[in-house]
Structure 1
């Protein structure tokens, strides 16, 4: 009797463990994917005019700046293509890394003329695919600053907003759903019909900086009497109101400060502003922003620190944004004071 029961018990135990294993195997990939989905993105803009190579351990995406609309209005021209190739080569040691070409930038024109023509749009989109395949990129980032505006010294048209939408649809059709399509956006959420491209793009990098110069903050998280034109909180709200899902928004962080021009140059990298002397560091607790004053108490510099970045990253997580981006990698110290702060705030 004992020997009869034993095989039966063993069979029951075996079936139990088999069932447990099947459940575990079925559950494990879903859990892994959920964790990956929950992880935030960190996008670093890396420029053609700097030489420093980024450390892939602290970023998930690199946006290479810049590519441009070519002189014929129907294709892409890449600044220093050999540097882009070197960035893509980082993927060999860091397979998680995504590298995109950012096309545009302040003062980069010919978008309006290209986007106004269906034929030129189509050819430009096809050339985006060529660039993606030639350089083995993970996608394209469009940095047209800004549709309908000639503030950057470029041509514009009232039809730019509508044509921007058509351009993004054309690029998506050309590169396919398997590649990333992103864009850089003004903090105020204007110029672009976000509701019309929400399902077309993967995410939006909000340029939540340059919203003021001393005596005002240029990238404050919240509003205070010292805040500039648009705060980070207001920028996110403007984009959501315009139709972009919050989970597709990426908050911009400047790795540079804005000076008063008289005592501190108007644009100063973080690594350089640390060397400034003769100024007192101040903290605006309402805006959650850093600034410096001179001996007369005058506001001379607006800038970021690891402490202000930590609060911005906490805001990103609390509000359900996708992650953070920064302009630009070379503005940081060699030790990576700011990039480590972003990484610790978003990923850890």
Structure 2
């Protein structure tokens, strides 16, 4: 009998040990180390609320005309944003270099001399403006889709560039990037050990009558869904805990609605009917004729996306852009509540 109890005790102990190990391995869905990254533009007027974000990407800096340094839009506004750190020391502020139609990356990265000078200037800017790091938004290596120059060597040179920036600014500073939703153009296996995290631009994936940021694939998905974009990045070699989910604070319309429209203007629209695609988990508007005329985000769709990213073990959420929200912060509060489950 003692032998039976002894065996039972060993088995029970083993089961408890295994259960405890599994609990430790399961990521906390509302862990305090989650990030909320807000892109804040140089042309905006309001200062962001540091209580609702962890990181601010200041948009934008650009490769200069001589391909060997960085120019910054509205340096005064960048200084005002960095000044928020005096009251909120945990806030991280990065300069985002690039953006749609921001060129000269290909020429800069192709030259050892120019690339070295550009990297040196990144370090100078980090020190001069008391920044916490650099965010590279090169859209997109090897592609001239944005109307900028490109080269077949861009992907290789991108890796060299990121490696040199990391070595120059050091491990204590942040190095991040913006990535197109389909995970193309970049050698992620090469840069994953170098970067802190990847902001996935899981938006602009369609225009009416399709969603531009639908979470799952539905009849209104033109190319890929948000979930398919995340899967593409995971398959490219980035661990979930280095992925940040992009959320648009704007929509795309057609007909009488502007092709690009901020959420703060969307809420003022009248004469349209709100619809919900329960497959894609995405809202949209239709006109009197029943036509799909606007794809956008709401607090409801953001809540679903935040639950998704937590369940996936992703690092957090990112949004473009802060000032597109309503004055009372309807969407940014939804992101905050969703990521931290407040």
Tell me the residue number matched to 1:209.
203
How far off its partner does 1:39 sit?
Answer: 2.6
SS of the equivalent of 1:89 reads helix
Are 2:104 and 1:110 aligned? yes
Q: Residue 320 of structure 1 corresponds to which residue in structure 2?
A: 313
Paired residues of 1:219 and 1:228 also in contact (CA < 8 A)? no
Counterparts of 1:121 and 1:237 in 2: how far apart (Å)?
A: 32
CA RMSD in angstroms comes to 1.2
Distance 2:51 2:99 in 1: 26
Is the Cα–Cα contact under 8 Å of residues 97 and 135 in structure 2 kept in the other structure? yes
1:231 aligns with 2:225: yes
In structure 1, how many angstroms separate the alpha carbons of the residues matched to 2:296 and 2:320? 13
- 1:49 matched to 2:43? The reply is yes
- Asked if 1 retains the 8 angstrom alpha-carbon contact of 2:29 and 2:310, the reply is no
Q: Confirm whether residue 89 of structure 1 aligns to residue 90 of structure 2.
A: no
Distance 2:222 2:57 in 1: 27
Residue 38 of structure 1: how far off its partner (Å)? 4.5
Aligned to 2:15: none
Runs of 4+ off more than 4 Å = 34-38
* Residues 129-171 of structure 1: CA deviation (Å, up to 9, x unaligned): 0000000000000000000111111100011011000000010
Aligned equivalent of 1:74: 68
* Matching of residue 167 in structure 1 with residue 161 in structure 2: yes
* Alignment check: 8 A CA contact 2:30 2:339 kept: no
**Matched residue, 2:335:** 342
- Residue in 2 that maps onto 1:30: none
The equivalent residue for 1:21 is none
What CA distance in whole angstroms lies between the structure 2 residues aligned with 1:88 and 1:229? 38
Name the residue aligned to 1:246.
240
The whole-number CA distance in structure 2 between the counterparts of 1:129 and 1:112 is: 20
Q: What does residue 280 of structure 1 align with?
A: 273
TM-score by length of 2: 0.90
Using the alignment, how far apart are the partners of 1:141 and 1:316 within structure 2?
21
Aligned-pair CA distance for 1:228: 2.9
| Match among 271, 289, 299 for residue 292 of structure 2 | 299
Larger radius of gyration: 1
Residue 85 (structure 1) shift:
0.3
Deviations 1:104-126 (A, max 9, x none): 00010000000001111111111
- 1:177-231 per-residue CA deviation (whole Å, 9 max, x = no partner) reads 0000000000000000000000000000000000000000000001101023221
Q: Quote the Cα distance in structure 2 between the aligned partners of 1:286 and 1:36.
A: 25
- Are the equivalent residues in 2 in contact too, given 1:67–1:77 (CA < 8 A)? yes
* CA–CA distance in structure 2, aligned partners of residues 281 and 35 of structure 1: 31
Q: Which residue does the alignment assign to 2:282?
A: 289
Aligned to 2:258: 265
Q: What secondary structure does 1:247 align onto?
A: helix
Gaps of 5+ in 1: 1-33
